[in-house]
Amino acid sequence: MAKHRVKKSLIAYHVIVTVLTFWSVGNVLLMLLKFGDYHVESVINNGLLVVFALDYLWRLLRTHDRKIFLIQSTFDLLGIIPMHPVFAFFRLGRLVRLIRFHHLFWKMRIAGKWTQIYHRFIYKTGFIYLFSISVAIIVLSAFLFSVSEKQTLGNSLWWAITTATTVGYGDETPHTAFGKIVASFLMVGGIGFIGLLTSTITGFITKRAAQSSAAEESQEKDELPILMAKIDTLTGKVDDLQTKLDALEKPSHKKTKP
């Protein structure tokens, strides 16, 4: 009975998290599209940010293995960074884990190879670690740039992203000595980790393509003996049919002789 109550409370908690996640993402979309009262939407966004931050802290304190929790909840941590409302989109990663926790894809019979590919790409390739470090470098650099250059967090984040990705539009540039030092570290560290991130994605896609090609070649090799056996069987049947036709033609030739 107690387990049943715990399960019902856990499901209710996950439903509330799901509703709040969709609400926060929808609210951010309204803010980005400038639809509705921006002030009210900003207050809602800040309130939901506090709720998700408290939820993250509560789960961190209750977990038995905090190292595993920090790795698995990387997107949750990114979703509570108060740099820009767009970080709320990282909260959608929580929904993916809830779907896996309740085995919803398996229950709906739509789980397949792509879920295994997703897990292999996110964790086994180290993508989640590189992505987390890259985002941490960009966010920290943006924060330091905002403090040193007296810029808004939004503009600072834009500067950090364009600098780390080597785009460099030049609309935001450091003028103070400390800002230039931050930019130098971002150029070296950010570009390095983003390069590793790009190579990880490219390597995974290349490996998948090579595995698919090898699987097709292996399948063709496995099917070749079967195909040859079928051809031999068909050839035998044709020969047998030809023999029967020859046997039928011989009596007809004898009757036509004078």
In this predicted model, what pLDDT tens digit does every residue of 47-103 receive, in sequence order? 999 999 999 999 999 888 887 888 778 888 888 888 778 888 888 888 877 877 766
Residue 132 pLDDT exceeds 90? no
* Residues 54/20, Cβ–Cβ less than 8 Å: no
Q: DSSP for 2-14?
A: HHHHHHHHHHHHH
Instruction: Give the whole-angstrom CA distance, residue 166 versus residue 163.
Output: 5
Q: What is the model's pTM?
A: 0.61
**Residue 91 DSSP one-character state:** G
- Which range of 54-58, 66-70, 111-115, 211-215 scores highest in mean pLDDT? It is 54-58
Residue 252 pLDDT exceeds 60? no
- Which range of 23-27, 72-76, 149-153, 207-211 scores highest in mean pLDDT? It is 23-27
Residues 6 or more apart whose CB falls under 8 angstroms from that of 193 comprise 130, 133, 134, 137
Measure CA of the first residue to CA of the last residue in the chain; give whole Å: 103
Alpha carbon of residue 96 to chain centroid: 10
State the amino acid at position 216 in one-letter form.
E
Helical pair 191-256 and 127-149, crossing angle rounded to 10 deg: 150
In this prediction, residues 155-181 reach a mean pLDDT of 87
Residue 219 pLDDT exceeds 60? yes
